[in-house]
């Protein structure tokens, strides 16, 4: 496992491992003061450390890694076509669909500027002219720019370019409806299917050999967020003291989840709330509770790579994990987000006839007006309502 620590304005990555039953750690400078860049490197290096590709306890360091990359690229004439190949090969963690998408966008740039165009001669206006054509919708313009930003940032970070060419180019604003972020139960099942398919593949190939590498927390945690309407911060801070599960339900109830306000876990509205465990979530949280040894304290969903039950999961890692399987899932819009699960909970409860004031209490909204935003009906809701009065 690994974590970040900021010291004198610079981010360090701390690696942890157990040697003869005793915890050991190693802190190494990432050479950056930017949190976003440090978090990105944390995810990359932690995964490589877990796979045994790097050994920070035996000479490896981020500085050596950066020098190795610079040495590999220095002194070479790099055309746009060559830079494209290097960039895509460097994205070893990306799936093939993502790589193909980047190649498609960069091929469009090559068609305009030429495959042999030196990347050092590309200027900002070249990118603007391609991205912001009047015949493209705002969403398409944003998509083009998003791909080029990643590419040119990579060129800058690897010292191929002296400036980050697209840094000051802003994407057009795209109005996004809540319905674009929400996920239906059918779409959620497709995301879980993608999850199962992915891990079946990597286990068969021998890329994953340990339980902590299999994201066993994924389904029970996503179900909990979906059916309780939790924010990411609330989900990672949830402890077993906040959860009361009935192993045998005699009155139709399955237990409760309490979102409390403590020093470590403060809800956005500042309100403590109690959420009933819903029937579809119950078997998942119950089985997770049993698998964890029926704990009485500790985080409900601790970091899989932590030393103990009090090592908290990172919200960024949680969000990225969910988005990974959204993108892998077939027939599921990429606009779906982790926070969209909370939107989905509100929409589902209101569609089932739960009073808005109750939904407000479950989600912890400070104002009923926020809850009423979700009181929208889709075509099926309207059709069913009309059928009921005929």
Sequence-ordered list of residues with C-beta below 8 angstroms from that of 37, at least 6 positions apart, any chain: 11, 30
Within the chain, residue ranges assigned H as helices are 35-50, 62-73, 80-90, 96-113, 124-131, 138-157, 178-181, 185-204, 218-228, 232-237, 282-291, 315-328, 340-351, 356-363, 368-372, 379-389
pTM to 2 decimals?
Answer: 0.55
Among candidate residues 48, 52, 46, 143, the one with its CA nearest the CA of residue 102: 143
pLDDT score for 201 = 93
pLDDT score of 239? 93
Question: Are the C-beta atoms of residues 78 and 160 closer than 8 Å to each other?
Answer: yes
257 has which bridge partners?
A: 243, 275
> CB-hemisphere CA count at 13 Å for 306?
13
Q: Which two tokens stand for residue 325?
A: 């399987």
| DSSP for 8-25, written as a single string | TTEEEEEEEEEETTEEEE
Count of all residues that appear for the chain in the document? 390
What would you report as the CA-atom Rg of the chain, rounded to the nearest whole angstrom? Answer: 24
- C-alpha to C-alpha distance for 43 and 46, rounded to whole angstroms: 5
Instruction: Please answer whether residues 235 and 221 qualify as being in contact, where contact means their C-beta atoms are separated by less than 8 angstroms.
Output: yes
Best CA proximity match to 371, nearest among 383, 389, 358, 384: 358
Cα gap 308→312, rounded to integer Å: 9
Could you give the CA distance from residue 149 to residue 82 in angstroms, rounded to a whole number? Answer: 18
**Tokens 């190494």 appear where?**
28
**Would you tell me how many other CB atoms lie within 10 Å of the CB of residue 280?**
11
The count of other CB atoms within 10 Å of the CB of residue 227 is 24
Question: What is the token pair recorded at 160?
Answer: 């191929």
pLDDT in tens, the chain (390 residues): 788 888 888 889 999 887 777 888 889 998 877 676 678 788 888 888 888 888 998 888 988 887 776 555 444 568 999 999 999 999 887 888 889 999 999 999 999 999 998 888 888 888 888 888 878 888 888 889 999 999 999 998 888 888 888 988 888 876 556 666 788 899 999 999 999 999 999 999 898 888 888 999 999 999 999 999 999 999 999 999 999 998 776 667 889 999 887 655 555 556 788 999 999 999 999 999 999 999 999 999 998 776 667 888 989 889 999 999 999 999 898 888 899 899 889 888 888 888 888 988 988 887 888 777 776 544 455 455 555 444
Residue 280 tokens read as 């579809």
Please state, in angstroms and as integers, the Cα–Cα distance from residue 172 to each residue in 8, 298, 317, following that order.
Answer: 36, 44, 27
Which residues, other chains included, contact 98 with Cβ-Cβ below 8 Å and sequence gap of 6+? 91, 327
CA pair distance 46, 1, nearest whole angstrom: 6
Answer whether 83's CB lies under 8 Å from 119's CB.
yes
Burial of 106 (0-12, 13-18, 19+ CB in 10 A): buried
């Amino acid at each position: 496992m690994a974590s970040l620590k900021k010291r004198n304005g610079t981010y360090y990555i701390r690696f942890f491992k157990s040697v003869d039953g005793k915890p050991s750690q190693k802190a190494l400078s990432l050479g950056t003061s930017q949190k976003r860049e440090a978090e990105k490197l944390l995810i990359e290096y932690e995964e490589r450390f877990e796979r045994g590709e790097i050994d920070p306890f035996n000479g490896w360091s981020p500085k050596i890694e950066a020098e190795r990359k610079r040495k590999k690229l220095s002194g070479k004439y790099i055309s746009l076509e060559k830079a494209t190949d290097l960039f895509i090969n460097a994205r070893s963690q990306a799936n093939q669909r993502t790589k193909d998408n980047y190649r498609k966008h960069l091929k469009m740039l090559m068609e305009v500027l030429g495959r042999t165009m030196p990347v050092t001669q590309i200027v900002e206006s070249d990118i603007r002219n391609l991205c912001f054509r009047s015949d493209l919708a705002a969403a398409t313009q944003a998509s083009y720019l998003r791909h080029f930003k990643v590419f040119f940032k990579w060129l800058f970070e690897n010292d191929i370019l002296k400036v980050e060419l697209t840094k000051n180019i802003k994407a057009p604003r795209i109005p996004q409806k809540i319905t674009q972020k929400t996920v239906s139960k059918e779409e959620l099942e497709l995301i879980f299917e993608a999850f199962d398919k992915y891990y079946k593949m990597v286990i068969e190939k021998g890329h994953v050999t340990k339980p902590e590498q299999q994201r066993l927390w994924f389904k029970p945690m996503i179900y909990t967020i979906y059916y309780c309407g939790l924010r990411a911060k609330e989900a990672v801070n949830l402890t077993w003291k906040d959860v009361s599960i009935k192993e045998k339900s005699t009155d139709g109830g399955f237990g409760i989840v309490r979102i409390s306000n403590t020093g470590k876990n403060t809800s956005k509205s500042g309100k403590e709330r109690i959420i009933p465990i819903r029937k579809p979530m119950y078997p998942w949280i119950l089985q997770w509770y049993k698998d964890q040894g029926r704990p009485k304290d500790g985080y409900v969903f601790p970091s899989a790579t932590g030393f103990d039950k009090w090592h908290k999961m990172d919200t960024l890692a949680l969000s990225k994990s969910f988005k990974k399987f959204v993108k892998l899932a077939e027939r599921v819009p990429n606009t779906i987000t982790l926070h969209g699960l909370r939107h989905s909970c509100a929409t589902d409860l209101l569609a089932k006839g739960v009073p808005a004031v109750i939904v407000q209490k479950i989600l912890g909204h400070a104002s009923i007006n926020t809850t009423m935003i979700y009181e929208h009906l889709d075509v099926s809701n309207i059709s069913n309502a009309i059928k009921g009065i005929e």
